Structure 1
Amino acid sequence: MVRLVVSALLCLYPLAAAADPPEIVGAKATPTGAVWRVEVTLSHPDTGWEHYADGWEILAPDGSRLGFRELLHPHVDEQPFTRALSGVAIPDGVNKVTIRARCSRDGWSDDTYTLPLTR
């Protein structure tokens, strides 16, 4: 019986380890002339170089990528953390964008964040 329980727990361990995708806890966009500056606040249980939130992207309503912010190092002791991307060209008529975060181990999160734009 103990062997069965241990086996079941070992099978579930990879699911628990992958259960915490990067979470976008806030974002804001500021127009700067013809382009935008987008700030995104992420939370993720970074453990070090082997597993950390390593980027986020800004998507137009049609799914096209408007910008990508690569995160170059883990933020183990800085959670949540905010990083910005400047020079984002957002077409006229677009009144909201979608932001999606990525993890170095698990890839793109299924969760997204919708950011309304004020022009």
Structure 2
Amino acid sequence: MRIQEIIEGKKEWRAHVARVKALPKDYQIVYNELQKYLYKVGPVELSNGIGLLSGIIDLFEEGAAFGKGVLQVTGSDVAAFCDDLIKDSKTYADIYQESVNKDVNKAIKKVTDKRK
């Protein structure tokens, strides 16, 4: 990664954080919890930039502009809202599970090959 890319990434992140800080307080609180949840669950797309998070801010800015409360936008189950956002996304847990399955299948094949 070039230095220019790092600088651009930092500028993009600072602009992103500024958008979050411009949201009403209840939206900021829910956004921060969403962000923590998504980082724990680990959708792969989050490591490739902030596209998903920016989309959430877009949705929140629109909801705030229409005078809606944050839970009117997300629904009362915020974790379910997050899960719906990433339901078709590959997560690090999925990648790990695939790796484990591959290793188990190799081990089983090795054992069955020895029995022949």
The two structures have a TM-score, normalised by structure 1, of: 0.23
More strand by share: 1
The two structures have a TM-score, normalised by structure 2, of: 0.23
